[in-house]
Structure 1
Amino acid sequence: MTILDEILDHKRAELERVRGGEAFRGLGRRAEALPDPVRGFRSALIDGEFPRVIAEIKRRSPSRGEIRPDFEPVACARAYSEGGAAALSVLTDERYFGGHVDFLEKIRGAVALPLLRKDFVIDALQIDEARVRGADAVLLIVAGFPGPDCAERLAALRDHAVRLFLDVLVEVHDEAELDVALEIGADLIGVNNRDLRTFEVDLAVTERLAPRVPEGVVLVAESGILSARDVERLGDSGARAFLVGESLMREADLAGALYRLRGGT
């Protein structure tokens, strides 16, 4: 069993435990009735000043363990905003990444940037929760939907998110997954340079897949981005935005580190 399989099994069990509970009763109706407008996540990756960085708020990971012992999500969000982030990626998985869905509400009240709920989303309930808690976009990972009905299940969840006015970042790692993302009409595709089955990282994954991404689809390079030189390299291949987490979260000065990553001196 890979770590991805383990995480997905845990996520299914977690959903079964909470489904029907008081906190989730009527969640879909609440999500549909929300008067609050979303902040445009995809538009921030088009209209903002290049390079556009989605700065990630992450305490730990299965492959690296604890990343930031003095982790404070709101302080991180404010520093990223000061450093010029185009948007924020907020880890909400608790067991494996040290996140929490409460972070979305707290961060939304502190900064004006659009927020991506980064989690292993496999159910419409998680999308409803994301909307109610303050996310502007959700992540759908193609590798999280094995089997012949992969595209059908992904399309249903993407359509559900769009009905709630959420943007959807569809994550892929290889050609077959990219084909699925394009089949369901994804207009925002993240190429994860990290293989979620082995956790190996290779920036060449983005370079290999970028030419296959049609014009009009926003390409986001994810994982393994350590420097302004990496940003330049992946930008030259066609990436329009860059999701960066661990390399920033290990820095004492988040705002300064992000500024330098974006080419500042």
Structure 2
Amino acid sequence: MSTILVTGGTGTLGRLVTERLRTDGHEVRVLSRRTQPYTVDLRDGAGLDAAVAGVDVIVHCATTPRGGDERAARNLIAAARKAGVPHLVYISIVGIDRVPLGYYKSKLAVERLIEESGLGWTVLRTTQFHDLVLRIMEASAKLPVMLLPAGVSDQPIEVAEVAARLAELAAAPPAGRVEDMGGPEVRTFPDLARAYLRASGKRRRLLPVRLAGATYRAARAGGHLAPEQAVGRRTFEEYLAVRSGARR
């Protein structure tokens, strides 16, 4: 079995990747900004050399829409090269080359850094997690009327399914850009909102709102979707039901 470093290993995805890899018998190091013994801020890289020493695979899950992903990736790649790490696995997002959102541009830049790193690499792109869609719905439901982007759909996927796929890729040889993973269904935002309202017992009026800008136009065109790779199994309703049951 391998020694695998998971960056962002305490996050929504990284925690599940870590659990899956350990279940499969791998030795896993969890790297985060707050967790010992591998407490590292990738943006400055202090302590990174010790974290990657002797590692067979790095699964790079650490990310933030607040900026710094490219600098973090450069530091991680430099440390991986220095340590001779043979395989770097990166989790990315469907549509980052089609939707001109700032965060997506940063993710695309990180992909290119990895591709040009000289390391063995694997990149997996997925659609948005159920967790993110839920956060959007919860925020919108704070108002008496839920404001939703008109004409936009989403294809949410279960994060545990993505974690299982990442663990599988980490245990395999470098594969380059692998097939995208999409959730089981493409759903309009009003449809997802109605599912959320039924599950939460709330009553809200839905108001689709037309927005301006290239990002909105790309989203209306489905640039962030992967209907031809609808390989996910758990639907948004099933996710909400499991989450509700876990809270009881």
- Fold in common (TM above 0.5): no
Using structure 2 for the length normalisation, give the TM-score: 0.34
Q: Report which of the two structures shows the higher radius of gyration computed on alpha carbons.
A: 2
Using structure 1 for the length normalisation, give the TM-score: 0.32
